[in-house]
Amino acid sequence: MPRIPIQANTASTITVDGRELIAFGGCNYLGLGHHPDVKNAIVRAMGFLGVTTSASRETSGNTLEHEYLESELAGFLGMQAAILMPEGYTANLALAQALGSPAAARGDDPGIAVIDEKSHRSIRNAVEAAGFVIADYEHLNAADALRAIRQHIAARPGRRICLWTDGIFAADGSIAPLPELLAALPAFNSAIIVDDCHGFCVLGARGRGACEHFNLRDPRIIWTSTLAKGLGCYGGAIAGSRELIDLVRFEAGIYKGTTPVPPILAHAAREALRIIDREPHLIQRLEANIRRIRRSLAAMGLPVIDTPSPVMTFVLDSPARMRALYDHLLSGGVFIPLIDYPNGPAPLYFRLSVCAMHTPAQIDYLLRVLESSLARTASPACAPRVAG
């Protein structure tokens, strides 16, 4: 579908061609991108910081705001240390560069990257660029991950195993089986990298993400994420052991050679972290909205997979019907993206997402318009089909 020319937005609406639509798309899951305290933090920081550092952090582009945010983010996650990246995509690339650097210095490959076949493209791009040997495993299938690990250990004994997975998969809302994946890893010379872009600030009782959701604390876990989705700000980050973060700082070329997240946005991200702890009702409201919409979609014959993820995807019996449904929803004042993003359930699919700021009245309206539009576009021979 063509890009949407958005003129203005709130946490739950967009304005297009002068018309306000209730929007169930995007990734501002807690609405923090529009929280008044986050916006005020940017205004406050403008009084003592510029828009950009205009230089990399290891030359003259470091600020206390970057260092404070790294320390506070590590504490929030319960990790030893964290390091900021320009955005989420570069976090995986920087980590792969760092993990591969000791082997590269010896003229060897950095080891084996075992990847969920539907992981975000940034993971595959990162490990390919860093020279890892790549082994895919079936989506969410820990037994298949174990098969791939054993096969490559037998063929290449002694090589480091790095298993990479999303926490929540952006295209379908499924959640990685992290305990089972950890169990599949060798006890030594291994790591699991959790790209938690869509789980951070969403999963877990305190919004710490996929690892909190499964109550996992393991030294083999390395965390990467964006700050632009659940946290509502901008930038990316890696968290793990202090030794690992030092390795990234000194060995990752994309870190050393890029301008960091604008310092005023680092200041805003610090405020967003504080809001999550002082306003726990945001996570509770998000959870309630997720449960309500999932139940209602199931009642309409659109039973999306049953997870606590705010992302819900579905397809109908034909692309023509999906385009007709999209048009009916827009005419009714509701926006649900119809997209062809990689690794989705079909070449074209609806990706509905809900945030904490959606009101009960907005959700009521969504459900009425969606049910009516499904009926108006129904094919007598075909019922809705949902990929799961």
pLDDT tens per residue across span 155-174 = 888 889 999 999 999 988 99
User: Please, which residues bridge with residue 225 across strands?
Assistant: 237
Q: What beta strand segments (E) does 141-298 contain?
A: 161-166, 190-195, 221-226, 236-240
Whether residue 174 contacts residue 243, with contact meaning beta carbons closer than 8 Å, is answered with no
Give me the percent of the chain exceeding a pLDDT of 70: 96
Q: Which of 30-44, 153-167, 174-188 has the lowest mean pLDDT?
A: 153-167
Confidence class for position 382, pLDDT limits 50, 70, 90: very low
Interhelix angle for 360-376 vs 281-299, to 10°? Answer: 20
Q: Which CATH class is domain 6-29+280-376?
A: alpha beta
Q: Tell me if residue 197 falls in helix, strand or coil.
A: coil
Distance CA 199, CA 125 (A): 21
Confidence class for position 106, pLDDT limits 50, 70, 90: low
Distance CA 164, CA 118 (A): 11
Q: Is it the case that residue 274 has pLDDT exceeding 60?
A: yes
Written in H, E and C, the secondary structure of 21-37 is EEECCCCCCCCHHHCHH
Which pLDDT score, from 0 to 100, does residue 159 have? 87
| 42 CB burial (10 A radius; 0-12, 13-18, 19+) | middle
Domains 6-29+280-376 and 36-278 share a fold: no
Q: Is it the case that residue 329 has pLDDT exceeding 60?
A: yes
- What are the residue ranges spanned by the domains of the chain? 6-29+280-376, 36-278
- Domain 36-278, second-level architecture: 3-Layer(aba) Sandwich (3.40)
Residues 6+ apart with CB under 8 A from 23: 9, 12, 13, 14, 335
Which pLDDT score, from 0 to 100, does residue 378 have? 85
Q: Is the dihedral of CA 307, 196, 112, 118 positive or negative?
A: positive
